[in-house]
Amino acid sequence: MGTNTNRDSQGWSDSLRDIDTVLEHFFTTCHEAKTDCHLYRDGDQVKDVKGRFTTVLHRLEEDPLVLVGRVAQIPAIVTLSLIRQVLFGAMYFPMSSFPLLGLLTDQLYRGEDMSLLVGGPDLLPLCGLKQKLLLYPDDSSAAIGCSDWAMIVGILYRFLPVAVQKLTRRASRSETRL
């Protein structure tokens, strides 16, 4: 095939190992930010922030969270695997993703309603194709799915900033932040 898959996979392996380093930086940064990080509590040590984060991961591993989005009315499952995907993306944009990661993790830790943030499935690979497929689905599900997906994405892009703003206000007013 002309590519060295061992060499290619080594690059990804190095990146995946970096996630631990990035996470440690997140815990430290959250601790240093104090109340500007939603996962922080007064009197915390770095290990306390890390402990709450780890608790969320263990909960999701044992019992994934099933939600139905309030806006799109589409079910979703928040799993440990999904959180790992978010973490992988966050390592490339830590400055912009750490505050949101702290907020979302805190919301999950406290058992807050996450239904405002639930979107639909990502149908872009199917719906965004510009070329014809060799084999098309033999029913109307692709057309219906892509039509629904376009509507949902439009709603979510308009609503997501409002949802994050509401969650941020709710988290900052919360009396459970001790």
DSSP assignment string, 27-51: HHHHHHHGGGSTT--TT--HHHHHH
Q: The pTM is what?
A: 0.63
Q: Supply φ then ψ for residue 83, to 5 degrees.
A: -65, -40
Can you give the length of the chain in residues?
Answer: 178
As averages over each run of 10 residues, the pLDDT of the chain (178 residues) reads 52 65 90 94 96 96 86 78 82 82 92 75 57 53 59 53 63 49
15-44 confidence digits (pLDDT tens) = 666 778 888 989 999 999 999 999 999 999
